[in-house]
Amino acid sequence: MTKHLADHRTPSQGGRLKHFLRIARDRSEEVWRTAWQRNRETDGGHRRVVEYVRIARGRQV
């Protein structure tokens, strides 16, 4: 039994992939580079973990 005519897809020419790669090459490199090279501002948020570990180990101030 053969497939219905609506179930036969024509082979893709890779248009979606071409557009994706063009956008990825042109625009996203700059965006990712700035995200990777951005300095993280630390506000001491890890201090809470340090104090938790200190208490868990039984150390006092």
Say how far apart CA 4 and CA 8 lie, in whole Å: 7
pLDDT value at position 41?
Answer: 66
DSSP codes of every residue in 20-55: HHHHIIIIIHHHHHHHHHPPPPP-STTHHHHHHHHH
Location of structure tokens 């501002």? 41
Is the pTM of the predicted complex or chain greater than 0.75? no
pLDDT value at position 20?
Answer: 82
pLDDT value at position 47?
Answer: 82
Question: For residue 6, how many other CB atoms are within 10 A of its CB?
Answer: 6
pLDDT value at position 42?
Answer: 61
pLDDT tens digit at each of 61 positions of the chain:
688 888 888 888 888 888 888 877 777 667 767 776 766 666 667 888 888 888 888 876 6
Location of structure tokens 């993280």? 40
